[in-house]
Amino acid sequence: MQCIVNRRAQFSASHRYWLPELSEAENIEKFGACANFPGHGHNYVIFISIQGELDEYGMVMNLQDVKQVIKREVTSQLDFSYLNDAWEEFQETLPTTENIARLIYKRLSPYLPIVRVQLFEHPQLWADYMGNSMEAYLTTSTHFSAAHRLASPKLSNEENFEIYGKCARPHGHGHNYHLEITVQGEIAERTGMIVDLGALNKLIDDYVVEPFDHTFLNKDIPYFAEVVPTAENIALYICDVLRQPIAELGANLYKVKLIESPNNSCEVYCTNSESNSRAVAENQPVLVRL
């Protein structure tokens, strides 16, 4: 039986986004504060996923062996380093989150049956790399606060209460929503980026956070006057709103995850947003994970 095991590790390092072929003004325009000399640092956290058959001892691999490989090939070399100089590959392609994840995978794959590297630069930004050439995934997270009422205008109050329970109360209720946006794309050979992160975060703020924050969704967002603002429908709406603007940045919107509360969250995979939009408009069920 195949099993995936995850091993956590960490290192602290600094880096700078700077291309010597560009002028100082061009670097600042392209990378913003990340171009400042002498750089900035992060406490990186890595999750290494390995896959294989269970052996007679009930293990994919002995985790002590896995720990030693990660230390030898990655963390002992990167911990308390200046990443731009730590590995020669960073001279060619900058040490962005997604490119660091790619190179960690490359360093570990000769020794471990690795299937994924997930690298957190900080709790609101992380990358996933699964060994597919230059393709990677980058996730950025944010939040907004909003109220909603779960009630269909096509149903009576009694019917809404039967379906939605307390969530159908006429004055609604609120949540501090946590939003995770995952984009997919090719790591650029020189900059190491899937997408301009500053532009992506601004886009999310402009299209989602500012319009949604401190609103009553049923009344302040016209779309939800007719569509019940469940977490699933909100996530689908965000998927449809962001898909084209993110494409214009040169990446693909892969996933929207909306955490409504510590107990409830949903994930929408946005590769088929046309069918998702139709399902939402018709109040039909769509594939989400709660």
Query: Active-site residue among 89, 135, 167, 186?
Result: 167
Of 98, 121, 180, 260, catalytic: 260
Given the residues 40, 122, 173, 214, select the one marked as catalytic: 214
Judge whether 270 counts as a catalytic residue: no
What single string gives the DSSP state of each residue in the chain?
-EEEEEEEEEEEEEE----TTS-HHHHHHHHGGGG-SS-EEEEEEEEEEEEEE--TTS-SS-HHHHHHHHIIIIIHHHTTEEHHHHSTHHHHS---HHHHHHHHHHHHTTTS-EEEEEEEEETTEEEEE-SSTTEEEEEEEEEEEEEE----TTS-HHHHHHHHGGGG-TT-EEEEEEEEEEEEEEPPTTT--SS-HHHHHHHHIIIIIHHHTTEEHHHHSGGGGTS---HHHHHHHHHHHHHHHHHHTT-EEEEEEEEEETTEEEEEEGGGHHHHHHHHHTT-----B-
Is 15 an annotated catalytic residue? no
Give yes or no: 260 in active site.
yes
Catalytic residues: 167, 214, 260
